[in-house]
Chains A and B, each alone.
Chain A
Amino acid sequence: MGQLSQLLLAFIVFLSLYLLGSSSLTGCIKIVALQGMCLGVLPLTVRAEGFHPQGLLLAAGMFILKGFAIPWVLLYAIREVKIRREMEPMIGYIPSLLIGAALIGVSFALAERLPVPAGLRTSLLIPVSLATVMMGMLMMISRFKAVSQVIGYLVFENGVYLFGLAIAYQVPWIIEMGVLLDVFVAVFVMGIIINHIARAFDSISTEKLTRLSD
């Protein structure tokens, strides 16, 4: 576990924090793209014993998909419906930032207490992945705009992927491919839906999606 991957992981968490405090949707999409690129590069810094072609392919796929394809779909979606900013979220920016910092603390404490296998003990992978998962979920539940929720979901997925990276050396790579597929299709379908939401409601706020309730 070199300094470089430590730096990348810290940067990934920092980007999640940034997302929690940011209101510009375009900015958020760019940040999540940057985070995706970091995830794509990360496997190359984690495995010191050299790369197999499969790993390289996965890294490249991840880089293109999370760094370019998905952000492009999202940017397309918000261009189509002409929205720029998140409205004031359910949990304000400052409280969500503070909750985010607390979540980081919790996940580090958790990773400290769980019996992390010897190879992963010094690495930040597991605590960072837990923190990213939690921050993604926080973003999903605290935002109203459909796009913000998708971004939250992407952060969540990034965290899950990080966890997968931690155990990648013993789980067949098909699982990692599954993650890619999952993200891609999920966002693809969500993109379509967002498009339809725009047509049906003239805005893609899920706050308006409240006709169905008890």
Chain B
Amino acid sequence: MIYLLLVGAPLLVGLLALVVDSDERRPWLLPFGCTIHASIVAACWKTLPGPAMNGWFRIDDLGLIVLSLASVMFLVCSVYCLEYLRLRKERRNRLFTACLSFILASVSLVAVSRHMGILWVGMEAATLATAPLVYFNHNEKSLEATWKYLMMGSLGIGLALLGTFFLALAAIPFEGRGDPLLIDTLLSRAGTLSLPWLKGAFIFLLVGYGTKMGLAPLHSWKPDAYGESPGVAGAILAGVITACPFLGILRAFQICAAAGLSEFAQGLLVMIGLLSMATAAVFIIGQRDFKRMLAYSSVEHMGILALGVGLGPAGSFAALLHLINNGLTKGVLFLSAGNIHRAFGGKTMDHVRGALRRAPISATLFLLGFVAITGSPPFAPFVSEFSILRAAVDGHRFGVALGFVGLLAVIFIGMATTVLSVVYGIPPNSDSELSAQGDSPLMIAAPMVFMALVVFLGLWLPGRLTAVLSGAARLLNGGAS
């Protein structure tokens, strides 16, 4: 029942948004739907609901993390949307509003499913629902970005499907006893899985969902999609939609770990993680477009997530914490970047200088967000990145640790160049009518809430959250659910 609500409520709101005919009133559906969703999720935190539908749906600690992250991100972003869509009156927002709700519905589906097939369907739905968001600006560049997003997304989703089929083939030894794609069945009979097929399945799932996540080398859609979509869509993409494929990879990892393939899977994750970080570092240096810079930062952090999971139990805990921290911080960055973009009418360093003068609060938030995402105390990402580093050192993976720190340093320098020149300096042409657009209350409030959460989690990790995170980390490393 609760699963039906989690998926159905946003779905209904989305359908309602398609029906409502007023561009002014329609956006109000978003905070409404998100509030309902958030309250259901809060109820889940109180008592975890049991399995439903032959065990196809159940929330475990991993799912709960993704679900809660999505719910919080959406709730805050929906408030931002109210103001944003009011400012963008020249565009019809019917599809935008509806698709945001559909994304929430499909993300919830991914988070609560215990079936690799359902998980895949949810991921596909999320991919398709995101395309209109990327295309929201209806110009040549956003068209190109949407095209790349769809092509790469479809390829990734197709590869993931192939991986799912491989998984079913690995389960041939079950001989028809139990659904071969049900995660619980797979976990309980992991010992009998056919290892070559399971290895193939993990590789395809990693590459396929990795494409959706934006792991190198199939990340090329990311800068375009993030750069051309509105700031709020960027926040949802970077914070929530990347968490879903990550969950898919984690599920595959869970099965591999249960079947005794953890070393194989961890090796791959560490490799692809470091590769993503290195790719991001190369492209972030000298990046003149600050939204594309954020996209590469997202590639980097996806790499960090993969790396963390590859480093064993302690690393997994840190990676899951980083999933939350990265999402929230990306919320700050993308929303404030969206504000700056609008205040200047451009997003490259040629057009944007001295944001502190034109949009002081957004610029401050952007600066703080940059400091946070690059891993400086007292913000939350520092905690998780430091824990990953410690996991590497404790595991005597000194090479990995060195690479990790080195790449973080390079990325810090690369991002600093861009961010500082955006924030400081004198605005290029100070005509007053543009600067009036600078900061508006709701559009600052949303990133401020994210910022507050980032600071809060950086200073104090609630006991309940720690419990859920370590529960999830246990799941990933062969523990029973």
Contacts and interface: CB of A to CB of B under 8 A. Distances in A.
Direct contact of A and B (CB under 8 A): yes
A214 B169 CA distance: 41
A143 to B, nearest CB: 11
B146 interface: yes
Interface of A, secondary structure class, is: helix
A196 B305 CA distance: 36
B223 A156 contact: no
Contact of A193 (B150, B155, B180, B197): B150
Interface residues on B, range: 35 or more
B155 A137 contact: yes
A140 B169 contact: no
A185 B124 CA distance: 10
A197 B179 CA distance: 43
Interface string A142-163: 0000100100010011001001
A179 B120 CA distance: 10
B86 to A, nearest CB: 26
A193 B147 contact: yes
Given A115-B196, A212-B228, A178 B124 contact: yes
A110 B283 CA distance: 36
A200 interface: yes
A75 B146 CA distance: 22
Contact of A146 (B128, B147, B179): B147
Interface in A146-201: 146, 149, 153, 156-157, 160, 163-164, 166-167, 170-172, 174-175, 178-179, 181-182, 185-186, 189-190, 193, 196-197, 200-201
Interface string B174-198: 0010011100000000000010110
B144 interface: yes
B292 A167 contact: no
A114 interface: yes
Interface residues of A, number: 40
A171 B181 contact: yes
A192 to B, nearest CB: 9
A153 B154 contact: yes
Interface string B138-165: 0111011111101100110110011011
B400 interface: no
A196 B143 contact: yes
B121 A178 contact: yes
B158 A156 contact: yes
B439 interface: no
Given A193-B143, A212-B223, A214-B287, A172 B169 contact: no
B165 A170 contact: no
A201 B124 contact: no
Given A114-B196, A140-B155, A160-B161, A197 B143 contact: yes
A117 interface: yes
Given A193-B135, A193-B146, 10 more contacts: A115-B196, A153-B154, A153-B158, A175-B117, A175-B181, A178-B161, A201-B140, A209-B143, A210-B144, A212-B144
21 contacts: A114-B197, A115-B197, A140-B155, A153-B155, A156-B155, A160-B162, A167-B165, A167-B172, A171-B168, A171-B179, A174-B117, A178-B124, A182-B124, A182-B154, A186-B128, A193-B150, A197-B143, A200-B143, A209-B148, A210-B144, A212-B224
